[in-house]
Amino acid sequence: AGLGEFRIRDLNDEINKLLREKGHWEYRIKELGGPDYARIGPKMLDHEGKEVPGNRGYKYFGAAKDLPGVRELFEKEPLPPPRKTRAELMKDIDAEYYGYRDEDDGILEPLEQEHEKKVIAEAVEKWKMEREARLARGEEEEEENIYAVHEEESDEEGAKEREGEDGQQKFIAHVPVPTQQEIEEALVRRKKMELLQKYASETLLAQSEEAKTLLGL
């Protein structure tokens, strides 16, 4: 370790160069029909009896294993944190998580009211400026009555228009509305028919219908 970083790297490179040359000779021996020393040879161990660490065929010996950037290559990656189950994830989820109690602290609501007033004031100011600009150009038109009902919108079958004493249009009925007297007459006729069906015989009913036919009722 006292040789210094650069000297250690040079020596480690030289050892790896010799190992590559050794590997070429082992491959050549195998081609010539000799034994496969790469397979049957002993493992390369360090002075502690541990296998020499490496990365992509490059081996690190002695103090080279402690060089900056080398130690990190062989450090085991930390285990990922354990995944939480669905029950653990749902344990802390309540109404506050979904924002249902955002206004309970009394802070958000006043801020929203203040912002709402500001937006309304800006909209009113913008409308006034646009109206003044139209007046200056002489383009101001009479404001449309949003409550007015146009004639084409009224029902052709018995639409009734009611006007007040001042002649201003008030209401248009789009369906025929019966009066109170018509409703009472209809109830009386219905009651008579129920009584006739309850107490009169079939012959009397037939005679009554025949009489109505003769009288043109």
pTM: 0.32
Span 174-201, pLDDT tens digits:
667 778 888 888 899 888 888 777 766 6
pLDDT for residue 203: 66
Q: Predicted confidence band at 115 (pLDDT cuts at 50, 70, 90)?
A: very high
pLDDT > 90: percent of the chain: 12
Query: Which tops the pLDDT comparison, 140 or 120?
Result: 120
pLDDT beyond 70 at 95? yes
Span 117-126, pLDDT tens digits:
999 999 999 9
Mean pLDDT of the chain: 76
Mean pLDDT within 27-55: 76
Residue 64 CB neighbours (<10 A): 19
Dig out the tokens for 9 from the structure.
Answer: 């790297």
Tell me which residue has tokens 């990365």. Answer: 55
User: What are the two backbone dihedrals, phi and then psi, of residue 163, each rounded to the nearest 5 degrees?
Assistant: -120, 145
Mean pLDDT within 110-135: 90
Mean pLDDT within 8-28: 90
pLDDT for residue 157: 47
Q: What is the CA angle 64-69-73, rounded to 5?
A: 85
Q: Predicted confidence band at 116 (pLDDT cuts at 50, 70, 90)?
A: very high
Say if CB 8 and CB 64 are below 8 A apart.
Answer: yes
**Nearest residue to 59 via CA among 44, 72, 75, 49:** 44
Dig out the tokens for 67 from the structure.
Answer: 């060089």
Say if CB 3 and CB 11 are below 8 A apart.
Answer: yes
Least confident piece of the model among 28-32, 48-52, 147-151: 147-151
pLDDT for residue 164: 47
